[in-house]
A and B are shown apart, each in its own frame.
Chain A
Amino acid sequence: MWNQGKYGEASMAGYTQSPGGFGSPAASQGGDKKGRTRAQQIVPCTVSQLMSAVQAEDVFKVGEVEIAQVTIVGVIRNTDKSTINIQYKVDDMTAAPMDVKQWIDTEDMGVDNSVIPPGSYVKVSGNLRSFQNNRSLVAFSVRVLEDMNEVTSHMLEVVNAHMQQSKPQSMMGGGAGTNMMPTAQTSMSSTGSYSGASMMLVNGLSANQNQVLSLIKSCHEPQGISMQDLKQKLSSMSVTVIRYTPPLGRVS
């Protein structure tokens, strides 16, 4: 079920029931001209993820996850209304407030075009856009939260969505199961600390070794990750430590 090793293929993890309004995932037809499946789901994200997303041609990716339509939840800090659109700045605490643009439908009098006041918590659904290095959301829905527990549920949905579409090796069992227990990706003590200081062995590898392993696994290039890249990303580890890592037999 999981297509391993195919660079750029969006895995169709598919969320089942969710109050967050996810569309059902489109079937992976593989008919795309680049051999890549375009993401059809609406992905819950943080503003920081949207700002960090890597853009290749017209495609945005957050780690493994290809994103086009996204939802964010945050508080409105600023509003600006013109005759053709409403612009908001929405703050979800993960970065500076994000620019959100909502076009006003001047024809349709049934649509409520009143501006939502600052200080209101909203859920925004829209498309990520990048223009002159400026990232923004073009929203097709900006809805005031009536149930503030949606703040909590969005937090969990974001983690769930991005975790499910991480490397398949990190899943225990496939499909849409909600699995909150990672395997040997990074060292994790019960208090959730990530530094390499832990002496705990996970999967027979120390914390440092697990970090190196997960970085190697996360690199999609056929020639593998360069020593340079490894050194850069593991700046806390000396080169000696990285080189000394014993043979990692399970790197595919």
Chain B
Amino acid sequence: ELFNRQFVSKVVLSRNGNGVIGDYVTCCVYESPKPRINASLLSQYISRPVCFVGRLEKVHPSGKALTLSDGEGKSASVELSEPLDEELSGIVEVIGMVSNKGTVMAVSYTQYREDKISFDLELYNEGLKVLHDFPQHYPFEIYDFYISRNIYI
């Protein structure tokens, strides 16, 4: 299994994409489509890269695990390969692979700024539903019309 826990744990957490990137999984996630999902969809995206946006509820004392809640109030567990080196709060977006336990193995995170205007997470969740209802108008994939199959860059 290519994305087993042991392999993913070697991924270096790179906050802004300028950290050490040498690992296959990290490159794979950055260069892949990363469908935006909420907690209810986690089980449908096991072993796939995703983008998860949620409110920070808890940071594990080790600093290597987070709990985020989505716009429906449901929780998701996020695991980091290295402990957090800063204070995080509010709305956090993580990208990473979904483990077979349904946790997001994060390769990167971005905090959504709310210094001027707060982020409406419930509305974002409604937006997610629209994206998933109309994949033909918001594709998380590239369609090569000449080859007539989906390709990933």
Chain A interface (Cβ < 8 Å from any Cβ of B)? 46, 48-49, 51-52, 54, 63, 75, 77-78, 89, 91, 93-97, 117-119, 121, 145-149, 151-152, 155-156, 158-159, 162-163, 166, 180, 186, 188, 192, 194, 232-233
Contacts and interface: CB of A to CB of B under 8 A. Distances in A.
B123 A148 contact: no
A158 B30 contact: no
B133 A192 contact: yes
A156 B137 CA distance: 10
Chain B: interface residue count, which band? Answer: 35 or more
B120 A93 contact: no
A48 B134 contact: no
A48 B113 contact: no
Given A93-B34, A95-B33, A152 B120 contact: yes
A93 B127 contact: no
A95 B153 contact: yes
Contact of A146 (B116, B145, B148): B116
B117 A192 contact: no
B17 A118 contact: yes
28 contacts: A46-B139, A48-B33, A49-B139, A51-B153, A63-B136, A75-B110, A93-B33, A93-B34, A93-B35, A94-B139, A95-B153, A96-B31, A96-B153, A118-B17, A119-B110, A146-B117, A148-B91, A148-B112, A148-B113, A148-B119, A149-B120, A151-B112, A152-B127, A155-B128, A155-B131, A158-B138, A159-B137, A180-B130
A147 B117 contact: yes
Contacts of A159: 130-131, 134, 137-138
B61 interface: no
A145 B111 CA distance: 13
B145 A54 contact: yes
A117 B110 CA distance: 13
Interface of B: 15-18, 30-36, 51, 91, 95, 110, 112-114, 116-117, 119-120, 123-124, 127-145, 148, 153
B44 to A, nearest CB: 10
Contacts of A155: 36, 127-128, 130-131, 138
Contacts of B129: 192
Contact of B113 (A49, A118, A146, A186): A146
Contacts of A149: 117, 119-120, 123-124
B15 A148 contact: no
